Amino acid sequence: MFLLSLVPPTILFCVSNGTLHCAALHRSLFPQRFVFGTATAAYQVEGAFDEGGRTQSIWDTFSRIPGKISDGSNGDVASDQYHKYQGDIELMMQLHVDAYRFSISWSRLMKLDGSVPELNADGVAYYNHLIDGLLTKGIQPYVTLYHWDLPQIYQDAFGGWLSQKIVKVYADYAEACFAAFGDRVKHWITFNEPQQFSVLGFGLGIHAPGRCSTRSMCAEGNSATEPYIVAHHVLLAHAAAVDIYRRKFKATQSGVVGIALDCEWGEPLTSSREDVAAAERHVEFQLAWYLDPIYNGSYPTIMHQHIGDRLPEFSKDEIALLQGSLDFIGLNHYTSRFISNGLVYQKTESMGHFQDQQVNSTVVRNGQKIGNQAASDWLFIVPWGLQKTLLWITKRYNKPALYVTENGMDDLEEAKPLEEMLNDTRRVHFYQDYLTSVLAAIRDGADVQGYFAWSLMDNFEWAAGYTRRFGLYYVDYKDDQKRYPKASAEWFSHFLDKMQK
């Protein structure tokens, strides 16, 4: 039972085919088989960092380095889903969701302390219980294989994603997941936001494993080259995993495999030819970086022009494996920026992914902000940016199957009464507006097949620790991680209730 008595605000979605028709926003306005779900990631919610045979990941290591996490916290306990998953499934039932997107902790699933990795029985049992519990309640599992938490043993042994050795290691891990869970899991996501862990982890040094060219921040790293090397190996690992699935499991399991990429929309600051090209370049450096090799067999031309020989090359065999290696595209989208043409920077070791784009980014145009700011300094609420991003993908890649695999906004962790923290009406309006943007994209031809809210519950938000709350459910970290529904949870429950229209 929900604790709040919020009456969900009414928002009208209107279409015009000569005559204007409007209806209150409800799941019935979406395609019949459209999937609604919530999303989390293993390190952010599971906790139980040293239970059930789990070994350390790079985020266990990174979060213990003084100064790396804003509140000095870590994911040792997080939201404690490892122990509370059954109750969390009940919360999802209250929301009336169709699916739950979660990630598997590589460090929990596999025994990695021997010469040959093998399945960890306790880890397999945990994910079996979670998957079976979801299915029993009619909730489909959408499983992400890698959501940033590389086992530390691979970082130590050969540099993790900087070495091509990781491709086979990841492919073997993916095969183990397909074999263990593929009889019930029909939607697989190979990677979550490779742009983020490539750039933040190996370009800026603010995420694990904390590598960059700035020696005052990072002991090791090269910001000019390493993000591109990491991304290259991610693409090869993705292609290898998809190849294994299609050769060994597709015929009997009948599942699909995709990848989840993130993108902030780039809106031209002015109508000048230079700013329009810069905004396009900004989006290409995010999405086409990963999708062009899969669809066209090569990195975008603009990246070759701007990065030169720092951009790795694919062999003919790698291109053959890459092309066509996905069944759907997952889009993680939160915000947008005004983009203008930028400076040509001198090529140095401190050169980074953003400088390579040669763009300027701002949130103000003609004295007006692009949208209201959420808690994080990077997150401005710009609903129309989601529609534009979905349509950009639709046009460039000939109408692929799409899922919005993450979308949400955060509040600050503050010492306020619980009732006030639960009354997140701004998040209600956020979801109304962004879902309306998804509907508009579908109306304009995008094949969007599902939407996942970030996040089911408040959790460990990486470098921000527990200072930001994205959840539909409030987690009380001071009282055994108890969950409380926010106003946005009640709104989602009403929005998704098939009995309500």
CATH number at residue 333: 3.20.20.80
Confidence of residue 346 (pLDDT cuts 50, 70, 90): low
Question: Phi, psi at residue 451, to the nearest 5°?
Answer: -145, 130
Confidence of residue 5 (pLDDT cuts 50, 70, 90): very low
Tokens of 40: 């989390």
For residue 362, CA distances in Å to 266, 279, 371, 500 come to: 10, 12, 12, 41
Taking the C-alpha atoms of residue 121 and residue 390, their distance in angstroms, rounded to an integer, is: 40
For residue range 20-47, list pLDDT tens digits in order: 344 589 999 999 999 999 999 999 999 9
What would the mean pLDDT of 3-10 be, rounded to a whole number? 40
Q: Based on the structure, what is the number of domains in the chain?
A: 1
Percent of the chain exceeding pLDDT 70 equals 94
Confidence of residue 348 (pLDDT cuts 50, 70, 90): low
Taking the C-alpha atoms of residue 496 and residue 501, their distance in angstroms, rounded to an integer, is: 9
Mean pLDDT of the chain: 94
Position 66 scores a pLDDT of 97
Q: Pick the closest to residue 4 from 420, 409, 374, 413 (CA basis).
A: 420
Assess whether pLDDT exceeds 70 at residue 108: yes
Assess whether pLDDT exceeds 60 at residue 19: no
pTM of the model: 0.95
Is residue 17 one of the residues assigned to a domain? no
Tokens of 263: 């993108």
Q: Pick the closest to residue 202 from 234, 242, 168, 167 (CA basis).
A: 234
Annotated catalytic residue 175: no
Angle between helix 226-248 and 289-296 (nearest 10): 40
Inter-residue contact 73 to 489 (CB < 8 Å): no
Q: Pick the closest to residue 259 from 287, 283, 280 (CA basis).
A: 287
Which contacts of 17-20 are long-range, i.e. CB under 8 A and separated by 24 or more positions?
none
Inter-residue contact 337 to 361 (CB < 8 Å): yes
Residue with tokens 């302390």, as numbered in its chain: 113
Is residue 313 one of the residues assigned to a domain? yes
Inter-residue contact 255 to 326 (CB < 8 Å): no
Is residue 10 one of the residues assigned to a domain? no
Is residue 247 one of the residues assigned to a domain? yes
DSSP state of 64: T
For residue range 113-137, list pLDDT tens digits in order: 877 889 999 999 999 999 999 999 9
Tokens of 282: 């900004």
Based on DSSP, count helices (H) and strands (E) in the chain, helices before strands. Answer: 19, 23
Assess whether pLDDT exceeds 70 at residue 260: yes
Tokens of 173: 């891990």
Q: Pick the closest to residue 280 from 257, 298, 303 (CA basis).
A: 303
In this structure, the strands spanning 380-381 and 372-373 are antiparallel
Per annotation, catalytic residue among 264, 406, 461, 490: 406
Question: Phi, psi at residue 46, to the nearest 5°?
Answer: -65, -45
Burial-class residue 437 by CB neighbours within 10 Å (0-12, 13-18, 19+).
buried
Position 155 scores a pLDDT of 98
Tokens of 150: 């590389």
Is residue 1 one of the residues assigned to a domain? no
Tokens of 446: 């995008």
Position 349 scores a pLDDT of 63
Annotated catalytic residue 406: yes
Is residue 7 one of the residues assigned to a domain? no
Q: Report the amino acid identity of residue 167.
A: V
Is residue 75 one of the residues assigned to a domain? yes
For residue range 423-442, list pLDDT tens digits in order: 999 999 999 999 999 999 99
Domain ranges, residue 273: 32-473
Per annotation, catalytic residue among 46, 193, 267, 490: 193
Assess whether pLDDT exceeds 70 at residue 501: no
What would the mean pLDDT of 456-474 be, rounded to a whole number? 98
Is residue 20 one of the residues assigned to a domain? no
